Chains A and B, each alone.
Chain A
């Protein structure tokens, strides 16, 4: 199993600013993913973050808006840049597959005013 922590758990930010979300895993993992869950919606994959390579982004998401770092096998960051109210969402990191399932972090609840 994998235990994932995220920081911050929630934040309220002003339009035009940026927020960096951290994801820490208690074991080394190859594959990490970042998802977004807009209010009342399902989860959508933003990007895949593998250590030692550039993040790969899904359609509709770009590096300038969501830069990602993956400096080692237990840590990743997602930055939400130049925020607007439409960026208000829950952002979750996940790891896996890890043999049995894919684990999700507790999420970061972002509100942009």
Chain B
């Protein structure tokens, strides 16, 4: 059974600081997603990571994937208030369960002035 664990679950940051959210998963996967969810809203796709060593960056967010360690990170650089949201990683199943996603618990990020 695929399990996905995120940490931390709650993150309170000051504007301008850097921090990293970690996503560990238990079995081999070909694809890992990062999503953002604002209160009362649906999921916004941030990154799709397809291969070992993949690194993607968009603005102040950078995501990486280490398939050997079964670990993905979401790094936040010089946080701003607009980044306050809940961030989920989701791991795509392989084989006969292809396409299904198992989500981490989510990290609630609050950025303070």
**Interface residues in chain A, defined as those with a beta carbon under 8 Å from any beta carbon in chain B:** 31, 33, 35, 42-45, 48, 92, 94, 96-97, 100-107, 109
Contacts and interface: CB of A to CB of B under 8 A. Distances in A.
16 contacts: A33-B101, A35-B101, A42-B103, A42-B106, A43-B88, A43-B103, A45-B102, A94-B101, A97-B31, A101-B33, A101-B45, A102-B45, A102-B99, A103-B45, A104-B43, A109-B40
Contacts of B40: 109
Interface of B: 31, 33, 35, 40-43, 45, 48, 88, 90, 92, 99-106
A96 B99 contact: yes
Interface secondary structure of B, over-half rule: strand
Contacts, number: 48
> Which of B88, B99, B105 counts the most A-chain CB atoms under 10 A from its CB?
B99
A35 B102 CA distance: 10
A60 to B, nearest CB: 12
Given A31-B99, A43-B88, A105 B42 contact: yes
Contact of A33 (B33, B48, B100): B100
Interface secondary structure of A, over-half rule: strand
Contacts of A103: 45
Contacts of B102: 45
Contact of A48 (B48, B88, B100): B100
B103 A102 contact: no
> Which of A43, A44, A45, A96 counts the most B-chain CB atoms under 10 A from its CB?
A43
Contacts of B100: 33, 45, 48
Contacts of A94: 101
B104 A107 contact: no
Contacts of A97: 31, 92, 99
A43 B104 CA distance: 8
> Which of B35, B43, B45, B90 counts the most A-chain CB atoms under 10 A from its CB?
B43
A29 to B, nearest CB: 10
Given A96-B99, A103-B45, 15 more contacts: A31-B99, A33-B99, A42-B103, A43-B43, A43-B103, A44-B103, A92-B42, A92-B43, A94-B101, A101-B45, A102-B33, A102-B45, A104-B35, A104-B43, A109-B40
